[in-house]
Amino acid sequence: MSDLLERLRGRGWRLTAQRRVVAEVLNGDHVHYTADEVHALATSRLPEISRATVYNTLGELVSLGEVIEVSTDGRAKRYDPNAHHDHHHLVCSRCGTIRDVHPAGNPLSDLPEQERFGFAVTAVEVTYRGVCPSCASA
Amino acid sequence: MSDLLERLRGRGWRLTAQRRVVAEVLNGDHVHYTADEVHALATSRLPEISRATVYNTLGELVSLGEVIEVSTDGRAKRYDPNAHHDHHHLVCSRCGTIRDVHPAGNPLSDLPEQERFGFAVTAVEVTYRGVCPSCASA
DNA sequence: GTCTTGACTTAGACAAAGTCCAATGTAGGA
DNA sequence: TCCTACATTGGACTTTGTCTAAGTCAAGAC
């Protein structure tokens, strides 16, 4: 993760305690926190961090391409630090749990030219939905 | 569209002026209105319809499987009446315009068993993103 | 080490999207 | 026509996110 901080500093990012804490909270695999969850976790390490700073920092990480914004349910957006490995998401329709998945094939090449309507298509997101094992057994 | 109203009545739906108006507003192809847009259009036909009723009715149409809820941007959800023809969405990253598209292949079968983590996977949504012709030329 | 400055952070007001509730109205069967 | 369970209403409330003005501070210059 200090990789990330190094990279950010290299891009002229001013390194503050608040930004470091947000980056640390997002460290790890299979992390998909909402902004509020990030704020709660950040607060436990740096009690005086404000909501606005969390939102600002998350927004910057997204525009720097270090974090991906995911909105699977039309409610709070979630932030996925796994930005450097192509993947898609599998979401539980009951509890909202998210898993990273790697489908075969390339959906981008599955969209024929005449179905692009002149758009310059640059990205594709695939969201699988279903019921997770623990919700199914409950 | 009276098909829809017939079908709903057959399911025991109580047919009110408000519900009829909401269903009429959603009539058509390539319709992807927000709840607010539906409310505005409904109001022009039935001025006293309330926001709560629009939300209730949209929610019911969704649970009846007559309308699909789409959230492409983490802002307002959009409602897509094209629920009986399998399709996916192409979204302009600048203006938010949505087009229905029909990619080749079946992304559901692209998710191998070991990538399902025990989930009972029932649905998949594919969202293509890019810049539409009119935003590109502007 | 200290100074300076522009970028960063803060608290709180504000906004957008959606939910909830108690009171009122009404569709459709008896 | 009447009844009643279901639908609608308006407004308060919640959640999620944005904005701003004032204060703070990281990091380069000296």
Q: Does residue B138 sit within a domain?
A: no
Query: What is the least distance, in Å, from the CA of A98 to any CA of chain B?
Result: 11
pLDDT of residue B5: 85
User: How sure is the predictor about B1, in pLDDT bands with cuts at 50, 70 and 90?
Assistant: very low
What's the mean per-residue pLDDT of chain B?
93
Interval A115-131 mean pLDDT:
96
| Same domain membership, residue B7 and residue B61 | yes
Report pLDDT digits (tens) over A63-115.
999 999 999 988 999 999 999 999 999 999 988 899 999 999 899 999 999 99
| Same domain membership, residue B94 and residue B64 | no
Report pLDDT digits (tens) over A65-78.
999 999 998 899 99
Do B4 and B66 contact (CB within 8 A), yes or no? Answer: yes
Task: State yes or no: pLDDT of B31 exceeds 70.
Answer: yes
A–B interface: beta-carbon pairs under 8 A:
136
Task: State yes or no: pLDDT of A39 exceeds 70.
Answer: yes
What's the CA gap between A66 and A35, in Å, rounded? Answer: 15
**A26 CA to C8 C1' distance (Å):** 20
| Same domain membership, residue B39 and residue B107 | no
User: How sure is the predictor about B30, in pLDDT bands with cuts at 50, 70 and 90?
Assistant: confident
| Same domain membership, residue A51 and residue A107 | no
Task: State yes or no: pLDDT of B11 exceeds 80.
Answer: yes
| Same domain membership, residue B92 and residue B71 | no
Q: Is A107 close to B112, i.e. CB distance below 8 A?
A: no
Interval B50-69 mean pLDDT:
96
Q: Does residue B96 sit within a domain?
A: yes
Q: How many domains does chain B have?
A: 2
Q: Is B118 close to A133, i.e. CB distance below 8 A?
A: yes
Reading phi first (left if > 0) and then psi (alpha if -120 to 50, else beta), residue A25 is in alpha
| Same domain membership, residue B92 and residue B76 | no
The domain containing residue B106 runs over which residues?
88-132
Q: Does residue B137 sit within a domain?
A: no
| Same domain membership, residue B72 and residue B114 | no
Give the domain CATH number at A27.
Answer: 1.10.10.10
Q: Is the dihedral of CA A96, A100, A101, A107 positive or negative?
A: positive
* Tokens 């058509």 sit on residue: B28
